[in-house]
Structures are given as C-alpha cells and as structure tokens.
A = this chain, B = another copy of it.
Amino acid sequence: MTRERLYLYDTTLRDGQQTQGVSFSTPEKRKIAETLDALGVDYIEGGWPGANPTDSAFFEDAPQTRAMLTAFGMTKRAGRSAQNDEVLAAVLNAGTRAVCLVGKTYDFHVETALGITLDENVENIAKSVAHVVAEGREALFDAEHFFDGWKANRAYALETLRAAHDAGARWIVLCDTNGGTLPEEVGRITAEVIAEGIPGERLGIHTHNDTENAVAGSLAAVSAGARQVQGTLNGLGERCGNANLTTLIATLLLKEPYASRYSIGVSHASLKKLTQASRMLDEILNRVPMKQAPYVGASAFAHKAGLHASAILKDPTTYEHIDPGLVGNARVIPMSNQAGQSNLRRRLAEAGITVDKGDPALARILEEIKLREDRGYTYDSAQASFELLARRELGQLPQFFEVKRYKVTVERRKNKYDQMVSLSEAVVVVKVDGEKKLSVSESMDSQGNDRGPVNALAKALAKDLGSYQQAIDDMRLVDFKVRITQGGTEAVTRVIIDSEDGQGRRWSTVGVSANIVDASFEALLDAITWKLLRDGGSAGGAA
C-alpha cells in the first residue's frame, strides 16, 4: 500500500504568538524556525509582515529553511484592487515562497464584522488569491470560521472555498477559528466538502483547543481526507491554543492507522528530537515544561502506581503505548528501586565517575537528590551541579577555596543631572591557599550601564582566587535563568546559570534560596568549582 503524503504547517510564530503573555523577539523567532526546520515540518508561518516591527524584522532577515517559509496576511479589503491594497502589498513584499491569506466564509461575519456584501467578500477572496498566484507564489487560503459558516449557510461557505480553489489556491484550510466544533462534526463536514468537489489533496485543517479536542479534530479531518495539518509546538495559540503539533507529529508517525496510511516530512531520526524541541520552546518562553504533556512531558512515561511500576520492570510494554526513546523522552520509575540506581549509575558514568553496582553511596546520592528536589532544586538541566553533588557524597570533591562572607549593595538615587540611576557593588571574602582575600566589584558594564547585583558578585568572586585564578580567567557567564518554584511549603527562587570557557565547554549549575541573590551566588560557586575540577589541578589549603 502506498502511503499518502500529509503536510505539516506550523504556525507557532503567528497563531502561537497570540498566546496570552507570549511575545517573541526576532532572534527567538529565528531560533524556533530553525528548530522546526530541523524537525522536518513542511511549512513555517513566520508572522504577518507589516503588522508589527518584530514580524517585519523577522522576514527582512529570514532564515534559510528547507521548509516553505510562509507570510500570513488577510484578503484585500473591498473597494480597492488587490494590487492597490497596501496591507496585502506588505505581505507580498516579504518575498516568501508561500503566502497564506485569511478570509471570511461565514455570512454572519461578512456582514457583522466586515460590514460588506456577501458578493464583495467572494470577490476579495478570488482577486487576492489570484494576485498571489500571479506574483508566482504558492497561495494558501485560511477559511476562517468555516465550520460555523457551513452550518449556518452551506451554499455561501462553499462558494467562498470555490472562489479560492478556482483562483488557484494550493491549499484551502478549513479553520475552526473559535474552537467550538467537536471532532465528529469536523470529520463529517470535511467529508461533505470533498463530496462537493474540493479535493482532499488541497484541503488543510486548522483547529483550536477550546473543547480540548484540537488534536482529535485534526485527526478526524485527516481520516476524512484533508492532507494538510496546521498546528503549533506545544499547542501554543490564541485562547486555549492551537492543535498541538508536538503531539500530532508523534501520533501520525507512531500510531495506527495513521502510521501505515500516511507519510510526513518528519523522519524517525528527527522524531527523537521532539522532546528537545518542545523543551527549547519552553526555555525561550521561560515556562516550566508541562509535566503531563503527551509524549514529551517529564511525567509522560512516569509510572507512579505500585502495580504499574512492578509490571513495567517485567515488561515495559505492559503500561507504555510507545517506547519513550522514540520521541527522545525517558521512562521514570520512582528512585527508591533498582531501576532508579541503574539510571543513576549511567548518569554518573556520563560524568566520568565509576561506581560499582550495589555501592551504598548510590542510595545516599539518590536520597540527597530527592531531598534537594523537594527543596526546589532540579538536576535535569544542571548537570554540573549534579556531578558536584555526587562527588561530594563520594568524597571525590576537593575544597579549592572557602567563601567566608559576601555583601552586595544595590542603590538607586539621583545623579548630578537629576536622573535616577542605579548601581550595585559587591564585596566577597574568600580563603584560598590559606590566605584571606577581599575583592570588590561594581556592576557597571563598559557602556556605563548597571548590570545588577549578580553581575557585581560574579565579578568580585572571580577577581582573585590566588593560584586558581588562571584556571577561571577564560570562563564567562552566558545565560541566567530565574524561576519562582516551590521549595517545601515556601516559594523559593531557583537560578540556573550557564557558563562557558575558552575551550568551548559549556556547563550548567543551580542554586535555590528564598533570596534571589543568594540563589545566584550558590549557582556561581558551583560554576567556578566545576571549572576548577576540570582545570584547577589539586585543592589548595583552603580550610
């Protein structure tokens, strides 16, 4: 049986940006586009050129992608030609190979929201699509509120689709804009549209999650014959979000009947990057990744029930519908049992630490991790801090230096020009090579801008570490993430610091405290200690 090709259309950068609280910068848009391209989606909708500076800047310096980069806009307005509509012109000027225009298909919206006649709207669709095609671009038509329109006035809704179809639209995308159509109805109406002569090979589906059925609605449309699926990474999007492409990619590739019936642009090799792609987006948004997320969540293959966990040890297929490795995720079994220890030994081996099976230190390390995770630490992304914790427990961590105390001051006051300015200053006292050293730094950068108290602390701490100074001179702080999280019953601050050195190494460390400066200091200390462990030789006489 030949498998039919399904096309994936990602709108994270456009509809995904409609999520409350989400606004991507231009570099973030680039990074997301590159990740989507590496995954293997077919279309990347980059935004609406001309609608805001960020979207315009993204298209001005668009990334080179294998996927078809698509500019979004709307059909021309009534009373002017497609050529003379400056909103449409801005969309075409982005120069993308594909252009997607949204237009009305629901008579009530044409009259209420646009205030034009039904015929004018049909003409706007036809002329706009024809203009895009005449410009040599691939045209897509987003049929807004299509399902509601179809139920209210089937003849008119069909007329709008035919207008786009006959004008040469490559794809006509049936949009459930308000998210209210249930999957059975999505499937039935899609089949009816195909029966009316719009071929399934030119139909797409665009659903929203307002009834938690966006994925099911997309699958129902595919089963009915649609061949393009629109969605967003992690289901970002207006209101409750769009169809979750992360989930759909895994389902279409791995689950029957879809896996045998269809092929998509994502290979099984890139499917292994799915979990990573999902986490990357959360990182950009500084969101806590949703543990319960299908396929990619940290809990997606966590077996908490006692009956489940013991059966999993006999045979993982007993309680897993897919192998977690296929999507780059991992099985989680409560740390207390044998599976937890072998997992730990593997992670230690990755850090170059060999521990024998059954060594009692393994249980101690697991216990310490559990205690610290309860207090708000996380070691998934802070590998360097994990290594230090394990070495401390194993007696394999030298004390290079000791911090006796520190003090940071943040001040804000008027300067001599009567402007409010702020400045931070840090004093750090360390004992190294048996000697007490005081260092002081302020937070001003070379442009004279205050970079804040953590910056001042980092500079003071790295200023004079005696015989270790050389080892840390090529080290710099490249990223700093802050999250308010739960530590026991209190809200605490978790800081993760990414550092880099001249040899191209990059490592992450974590600190937790109710005091954000103190949490940062802890992560900084770990970062320096890890670097000394690699390059600093043996410990000095700190104590």
* Residues in A lying within 8 Å of B, measured CB to CB: 17-23, 25, 27-28, 51-54, 74, 108-109, 112-113, 177-180, 182-184, 209-213, 215-217, 219-220, 223, 235, 238-241, 244, 247, 250-251, 255, 286, 291-295, 297-308, 310-311, 314-315, 318-322, 332, 334, 336-338, 370, 373-374, 378, 380-381, 403-414, 422, 424, 443, 449-455, 479-486, 490-491, 493, 513-518, 521
Contacts and interface: CB of A to CB of B under 8 A. Distances in A.
B404 A180 contact: no
A480 B515 CA distance: 13
A454 B179 contact: no
Given A109-B318, A332-B20, A486 B408 contact: no
Contact of A321 (B178, B291, B408): B178
Nearest to A376: B25
A319 B18 contact: no
A337 B405 contact: no
Given A241-B292, A308-B238, A407 B409 contact: yes
Contact of A370 (B53, B212, B424): B53
Contacts of A337: 23, 52-54
Contacts of A332: 20
A268 B450 CA distance: 50
A373 B55 CA distance: 14
Contacts of A406: 411-413
Contact of A314 (B113, B212, B380): B113
B211 A213 contact: no
B294 A452 contact: no
B404 A413 contact: yes
A299 B452 contact: no
Of A18, A311, A443, A484, most buried by chain B (CB within 10 Å of CB) is A18
Q: Name the residue among A240, A304, A453, A490 with the largest chain B CB count within 10 angstroms.
A: A240
B180 A255 contact: yes
Nearest to A521: B412
Contact of A482 (B22, B216, B298, B482): B482
26 contacts: A20-B299, A20-B332, A22-B380, A52-B338, A109-B311, A178-B321, A179-B321, A182-B251, A210-B300, A211-B215, A211-B250, A211-B255, A212-B294, A216-B217, A239-B299, A239-B302, A286-B485, A405-B411, A407-B413, A408-B409, A408-B411, A410-B517, A410-B518, A424-B515, A443-B515, A450-B513
A510 to B, nearest CB: 11
A542 to B, nearest CB: 15
Contact of A223 (B22, B184, B315): B184
Question: Which 9 A/B pairs are nearest by Cβ-Cβ distance?
Answer: A180-B321, A216-B216, A452-B515, A405-B413, A482-B482, A286-B483, A113-B311, A25-B486, A20-B299
A50 to B, nearest CB: 12
B321 A517 contact: no
A239 B300 CA distance: 5
B482 A304 contact: no
Contacts of A297: 240
B25 A294 contact: no
Nearest to A244: B212
A209 to B, nearest CB: 6
Given A213-B215, A240-B294, A407-B409, A493 B18 contact: no
Given A21-B291, A410-B407, A450-B515, A182 B321 contact: no
Given A406-B412, A482-B482, A513-B422, A304 B18 contact: yes
Among A74, A223, A295, A336, chain B packs the most CB atoms within 10 A around the CB of A336
A139 to B, nearest CB: 20
A224 to B, nearest CB: 11
Contacts of A381: 20-21
Nearest to A491: B480
Given A74-B307, A318-B112, A483-B286, A404 B414 contact: yes
B239 A292 contact: yes
Given A410-B410, A410-B453, A482-B482, 11 more contacts: A23-B336, A53-B370, A109-B311, A113-B310, A113-B311, A180-B321, A183-B183, A238-B302, A408-B411, A452-B518, A482-B493
